[in-house]
Amino acid sequence: MKKCLKITLISNNIDGGFKDSVQAAARKLDLEGTMQFVEPNGLIIIACGEKDNIDSFLDNLHQGLGINVPDDVQVEPFLKEKDYRGIFRILE
């Protein structure tokens, strides 16, 4: 079963290494979607994929990737409105 989530993540420790860790985790779990930085210390992640993979990805974000444990993670359902073509992209 496919599932899509909009994840808003707030952390004072967001850096380039964290961005790479999120993208690597998404690729490993075969997710598609986007990640975009928002000011001052946030990320908006749209992630779509198999339910179990989405749940694993969300668990990884809550626990922190490397030393980057988020201060706040908000999750809401998301209706896929475009074709991500099987890729997880970082929007700058």
More confidently predicted of 45 and 21: 45
Is the predicted pLDDT of residue 21 greater than 80, yes or no?
yes
20 contacts: CB under 8 Å, gap ≥ 6: none
Q: What is the pLDDT of residues 22-80, one digit of tens each?
A: 889 999 999 999 999 887 788 899 999 999 999 999 998 888 766 667 778 899 999 87
Tell me phi and psi for residue 33, to 5 degrees.
145, -155
Residue 83 pLDDT more than 90? no
Q: What pLDDT does 16 receive? A: 67
* Amino acid 71: pLDDT: 79
Which residue from 14, 68, 65 is spatially nearest to 42, judged by alpha carbons?
14
pLDDT value of position 88 = 87
The number of domains in the chain is 1
Question: 33: domain range?
Answer: 2-91
Find the CATH number of the domain harbouring 41: 3.30.70.100
Q: 33: which residues sit within 8 A by CB, 6+ positions away? A: 4, 26, 45, 46, 47, 48, 84, 88, 89
pLDDT value, residue 41? 81
